[in-house]
Amino acid sequence: MTRDWTPAELMTIAASRALDPDDVCFVGIGAPSAACNLARLTRAPDLILIYESGTIGTRPDVLPLSIGDGELAETALTTVSVPEMFRSWLQGGHVTVGFLGAAQLDRYANLNTTVIGSYDSPHVRLPGAGGAPEIATHCQRVLITLRHRPRALVETVDFVTSLGFGRTGTERAALGIPTAGPQLVVTDLCTLAPEQDTNELVVTALHPGVGRAQVQAATGWPVRFAPEVAETPPPTEEELTVLRELHRRTAAVHGA
């Protein structure tokens, strides 16, 4: 098979396919934003995108550098205050999906964007939580995307910034959190989903050309595979064209 796409492109495209056309999506900056806007520009034109700054129904022509990027407010259907965004929209149950990234993800889909190492004396101080903890608990379901590396997919995150299913996979239910939590993780090698009984992430699909040994070597725990592992469909010509044009416009505007 001739492949004219990169692993990063396939990751973004596979993640975009996980969104339903009628979703109301709380979007994280970076890879989640690329996936959500690709979905909006292709298979889900009515997808409602919400960013943490209070922009609702935004339709950016280029990818925002941050939640404060003027492109979001200028193209939004409306904007509201951040307290109203979280209290009325998010905690009110109006957001169907939260799309997040992270520096670390563990086997029970807990996310770390706070520190690498100990909290009191970290090796790296990360950007922090922002609204991700609330997104992770109040959206009806959560999607996650990140590059597949041993230092990113770790057995136990150094700090639980955003709750997946907890340290043992049972804490989310024990806390009485009614939302479904993380339902899909998309990396540049594969997709993973929580196992029904344990909530441990297992591989459900491999990207074209990726083998099980490659995924295991890039995962920080003894990752298991679902009874039936699919192969991710390759990108379509439309998906690649739209994604590359989106990145071209973004680079032209932001100079990166």
3-class secondary-structure state, position 230: strand
d(CA 126, CA 157): 13
3-class secondary-structure state, position 26: strand
Query: Beta strand pairing status for 97-100 and 141-145?
Result: parallel
d(CA 118, CA 112): 12
pLDDT tens digits, residue range 140-153? 999 999 999 999 99
Res. 1: pLDDT tops 60 = no
189-202 core/surface letters (b: 16 or more CB in 10 A; e: else): bbbbbbeeeebbbb
DSSP letter (8 states) at residue 65: S
pLDDT tens digits, residue range 40-59? 999 999 999 999 999 999 99
Number of neighbouring beta carbons within 10 Å of residue 213: 8
pLDDT tens digits, residue range 69-125? 999 999 999 999 999 999 999 999 999 999 999 999 999 999 999 999 999 999 999
- Provide the residue ranges of all domains of the chain, joining segments of one domain with +: 7-251
d(CA 205, CA 209): 12
pLDDT at 256: 56
Catalytic residue among 9, 52, 134, 239: 52
Number of neighbouring beta carbons within 10 Å of residue 208: 14
Res. 2: pLDDT tops 90 = no
Q: What is the CATH number of domain 7-251?
A: 3.40.1080.10
Rounded to 5 degrees, what are φ and ψ at 159?
-155, 130
pTM, full prediction: 0.95
Q: Report the run of H or E that residue 240 belongs to, with start and end.
A: helix 237-254
Q: Do 52 and 25 contact (CB within 8 A), yes or no?
A: no
Is 155 tagged catalytic? no
pLDDT at 177: 96
